[in-house]
Amino acid sequence: MKKNLGTIPIVLMLSFILAACNGGNNSKNHAPIVLGDSGTIVTEKDSQYVHDYVTDFHPNLPAASETPDTPVAEKPAAAPAAPEPTATAAKPAATPPVQPVAPGKGLVITFNEVTISIPGITTKSYSNSQNANGASYQIVSGTLNGNHIQITNGTVTKVSQRYQVAVVLKNHMGTFPLNALSNTTDWAPIQGGNNVYNISGLEPNRLKLPSADASDIREAVQKAARSRRLSRKKEQELLLAVRNTRSVSQAPLTVLLRSVIWKVEGKNAQGKPFQKQIRLDMPI
């Protein structure tokens, strides 16, 4: 009987130890987390344990229509302001109004609807009338190419230019214009503004040459000789001078500017359209 009672404390002690060991399986593992160890990965699904404790950041983004297609580069820091200049920069000078050509210093043509002038040239008149639609002159001195046309009265909408070239035969017998080979260009608008229109395109190397072959040249020379009432002998001498000439730019022929014509279009004070033409002939 004493032997059995002595084993009871030992059995109870073992029971307590086993119970303590089994209860430890339900406690949390406080060992350090090992990277790559699936047993240490948090798999909690209860929302009360996994929600964030920081406020979400909601940036103030522009609306879709305002969002730029490409990122805007950050503006560099503003450079220090330059010291103000002591003198104020001069503003571009305004275009001065057109001044009338002084008498005796250029060509001035006065029509009822408009006044047209070309400075720096001297002319003699063929015809000019305020009531006419055109006027013609011969230039005595001065330069046209690089010059300009001035409008001092009237409203002009367009200025066009055309010219005529003459082919001239020059030798010891004299100067013979070959009128059969003359050429007149088409109308072309000229550039301008503020009632000033530039005269250009009349350089000798830019003139449009007439198209003619050796046969055309011989025929034109024969007509020029007969218009002068030359003798048969002198006519043959002229034809002999061009026996090897194949184009109008070949000696003894020369291409010259014969005349320039301008067409001025606009409206009068009553709004009625008008057109005026001015012709300047060059001496040969």
Number of DSSP helices (H) and strands (E) in the chain, helices first: 4, 12
Write the pLDDT tens digit of every residue in 112-127: 899 999 999 999 987 6
pLDDT at 248: 94
- More confident call, 240 vs 101: 240
Three-state secondary structure call for residue 81: coil
pLDDT at 99: 52
* C-alpha pair distances (Å), 9 with each of 1, 14, 19, 23: 15, 9, 16, 21
Contact yes or no for 229/284 (Cβ under 8 A): no
Closest CA to 179 of 226, 134, 143, 144: 226
Statement: residue 237 has pLDDT above 50: yes
pLDDT at 284: 81
Write the pLDDT tens digit of every residue in 131-172: 788 999 999 999 999 999 999 888 899 999 999 999 999 999
The angle at the Cα of 264, spanning 105 to 203, to the nearest 5 degrees, equals 65
pLDDT at 58: 40
pLDDT at 56: 41
* C-alpha pair distances (Å), 190 with each of 97, 100, 244: 20, 21, 39
pLDDT at 152: 87
Write the pLDDT tens digit of every residue in 165-222: 999 999 999 999 999 999 999 999 999 988 999 999 999 999 999 999 999 999 999 9
Per-residue pLDDT band for 28 (boundaries 50, 70, 90) equals very low
- More confident call, 90 vs 239: 239
pTM (predicted TM-score): 0.62
Side-chain half-sphere exposure of 281, counting CA atoms within 13 A: 11
pLDDT at 270: 84
- More confident call, 31 vs 160: 160
Q: Give the tokens for residue 77.
A: 């820091």
Contact yes or no for 98/195 (Cβ under 8 A): yes
Write the pLDDT tens digit of every residue in 42-94: 444 555 444 443 334 344 433 333 434 444 444 445 555 544 544 444 444 44
The most distant pair of C-alpha atoms in the chain lies apart, rounded to whole Å, by 183
- More confident call, 130 vs 277: 277
Contact yes or no for 282/257 (Cβ under 8 A): yes
Residues 127-132, mean pLDDT to the nearest whole number? 70
